[in-house]
Amino acid sequence: MLPNQIHNWIGAQEQPAQADEWFEKLNPATGQVLFKAARSRAADIHRAVELAKKAQPAWADTPAVQRGMILHKIVVGMQNRQSEIAAIVAAETGKSMKEALGETGGAIQCGLFYASEGQRLYGRTTTSGAANKYAMTIRQPIGVAGLIIAANTPIANVAWKVFPALICGNAAVLKAAEDTPATAWIFGQIAKEAGLPDGVLSVLQGFGEEAGAPLVAHQDVGVISFTGSTEVGRIINRVAGERFARISLELGGKNPLVVCDDADLENAAKWVLLSAFSNAGQRCASTSRVIIFESVYEKFRDMLVEKTKKLKVGTADDCDFGPVINEGQLLGMVSAVEKARKNGATILCGGERMTDAGHKDGYYMAPTLIENVHPHDEISECELFGPVALLFKAKDFEHALQMANDTPYGLTASIHTKSIHRAVRFYDKVQTGVAVVNAGTHGSEPHMPFGGRKLSGNGSREPGTEALDIYSELKDVYVNIDPAQA
């Protein structure tokens, strides 16, 4: 079903990179080559930005309601081809078809939300301090949006950025994640079939420094929206900040889940497993620090270890999670765990690459629980982006809260308690963009704002109506009238 070569969509044209260079995309479940993808460089990016600049004014002049109707056609195209998209997501990421279908459903919901926002691109009408003067704000597009995404939930990441950028009247150039080229490519195809005007969306394949960096540096790209690591986010902030582009950064996390002594431990254990291990821990919102009250620590730890050992790892629908996205990611994680072990950490389960016959060719990390690490050890502070969770002991609620906040990151957090007092104090005081009571650490629904504090972001929030603030300029308008001429 997948072509042997995944091209760029430069405007509505499917084409190789100008230099005709390619890179291999491997199947994370088997290590086999899936296809080759276009290896784009600055010349390809410049061409896409030129087309975007040409197409954008007419797109901006298309009434937002009509833009929404075209985006709705893309959504219908995604619905009609949901299983095809999901099969590509599954093949590229190694997640099960069930997971991939769920993710595609989320992307469709996101598209539907923004298609309808064409009917609601609200400004504000208010009073003026002067007589015969009327004050209001209107939303206007920025121009060309540069979108750069990670591979972990590939179709959701595409939808999360392309739909809000386009509904606001921008043209967009999307740099796909190099680990998931085909998902972005099929989205480009669906957009073309839906009648999106030529040049309004280009989808480029390639590596970060070769294809992402020229997009970030391009002076005609007015807004850069990035989902990826804090390390790359820092570079983007510097480069695009230098030329005063609008920047949205959705970065990494080291997310805490607190288990109090009054928690429903069965429910808490269920959510730790889902939050730490689903999608092989490759979620910015993953739980990687489990902070447990001393009085229930041993009991809860033993429950977790027992349940973790029963997890099924593979690509089938009844598996709990699959491989990580590439070998480099796997090896980095294994060496971080090894280093922690040498420094005195106790590996309660997992901690290694899975090397049995069913897993040895893929990039499989055994589900891993670790204790006896210090909150400021390297492994406690750096994001591993894999199925690895650390367990910590807290004396009481205030200690748990302090530990939850004692991290360079601030993306998501969860608390398990039956106390309304603890729950409210936790969501009030935890220094994150998302707080959850009695469930997992997770992202936001498509109509709600997601984003992080500290090293997890730059304060922007996507999706929800809040993303409209990223992709549009507000203009403050005053109308003065003269009643004498009425």
Token couple for 130: 């002067």
Of 40, 227, 237, 315, the one binding ligand NAD (CB under 6 A) is 227
The correct pick among 8, 96, 104, 152 for binding ligand NAD (CB under 6 A) is: 152
Instruction: Give me the least distance between CB of 153 and ligand NAD, in Å please.
Output: 7
Place of tokens 């507000």: 474
Among 48, 151, 290, 415, binds ligand NAD (CB under 6 A): 151
Q: How far apart are CA 283 and CA 286, in angstroms?
A: 5
Strands (E), 133-217: 133-141, 144-148, 171-175, 201-204
Would you state the structure tokens that stand for residue 250, as one six-digit string? 């959705």
x-or-dash pattern for ligand NAD, window 393-422, by CB under 6 A?
Answer: ------------------x-----------
**Exactly one of 103, 284, 371, 383 is catalytic; which is it?**
284
* Per-residue contact flags (x/-) with ligand NAD for residues 202 to 221, judged by CB under 6 A: -----xxx--xx--x-----
Report the residue number, 417 or 432, with the smaller CB distance to ligand NAD. 432
Q: Which is nearer to ligand NAD, 67 or 254 (CB)?
A: 254
Q: Among 69, 157, 150, which Cα is nearest to 106's?
A: 157
CB 15 within 8 A of CB 7: yes
* DSSP 8-state secondary structure symbol assigned to residue 462: B
Q: Is 37 in the site for ligand NAD (CB under 6 A)?
A: no
Query: Using the rule CB under 6 A, is 89 a contact of ligand NAD?
Result: no
**Which of 7-15, 46-54, 65-73, 232-240 is the region at the interface with ligand NAD (rule: CB under 6 A)?**
232-240
| Residue 181 near ligand NAD by CB under 6 A | no
| Count, residues near ligand NAD per rule CB under 6 A | 29
24 is annotated as an active-site residue: no
| Beta carbons within 8 Å of 280's beta carbon, 6+ residues apart | 94, 95, 321, 322, 323, 324, 365, 386, 387
Among 287, 383, 392, 446, binds ligand NAD (CB under 6 A): 383
Phi-psi region of 321 (alpha: psi -120 to 50; beta: other; left: phi over 0): beta
Is position 42 an interface residue for ligand NAD (rule: CB under 6 A)? no
Shortest distance (Å) from residue 236 CB to ligand NAD: 6
> Which residue's structure tokens are 């210090």?
374
Closest CA to 389 of 398, 380, 397: 380
Residue 156 CB, nearest approach to ligand NAD (Å): 9
Residue 31 and residue 361 in contact, taking contact as beta carbons nearer than 8 Å: yes
Q: Minimum distance from CB of 8 to ligand NAD (Å)?
A: 14
Considering the candidates 250, 371, 383, 462, report the single residue annotated as catalytic: 250
Tokens matching residue 158: 């595409």
CA neighbor of 313 nearest in space, from 361, 279, 344: 279
The total of other beta-carbon atoms located within 10 Å of residue 406's CB is 16
Active site (annotated) includes residue 178 = no
- Binding of ligand NAD by 385 (CB under 6 A): yes
User: Does 386 engage in binding with ligand NAD (CB under 6 A)?
Assistant: no
List 229, 402, 405, 419, residue binding ligand NAD (CB under 6 A): 229
Rounded CA gap, 432 and 409, in Å? 8
Query: C-alpha 208: how far from its chain's center?
Result: 16
Residue 161 CA, distance from chain mean position: 9
Residue 238 found at the interface with ligand NAD (CB under 6 A) = no
Going 19 to 7 to 23 to 49, the CA torsion angle's sign is positive
**In the range 416-455, which residues lie near ligand NAD by CB under 6 A?**
452
| Residue of 48, 149, 247, 296 interacting with ligand NAD (CB under 6 A) | 149
CA distance 212 to 313: 33
Please give the sequence-ordered ranges of beta strands (E in DSSP) within 142-192, or none if there are none.
Answer: 144-148, 171-175
247 binds ligand NAD (CB under 6 A): no
Cβ 38 to ligand NAD, closest distance in Å? 13
Indicate whether 94 belongs to the interface with ligand NAD (CB under 6 A).
no
- H or E element in which residue 239 lies: helix 230-242
* Least gap, CB of 223 to ligand NAD (angstroms): 14
Calpha distance 391→482 (Å, rounded): 70
Q: Calculate the alpha carbon distances from 307 to 95, 233, 485 in Å.
A: 21, 36, 79
* Contact region with ligand NAD (CB under 6 A), list: 116-124, 170-178, 188-196, 356-364: 170-178
What is the per-residue binding string for ligand NAD in 251-290, x denoting contact by CB under 6 A? xxx------------------------------x------
- List residues near ligand NAD by CB under 6 A: 148-152, 175, 177-178, 207-209, 212-213, 216, 227-229, 232, 235-236, 250-253, 284, 383, 385, 411, 452
Catalytic (active-site) positions: 250, 284
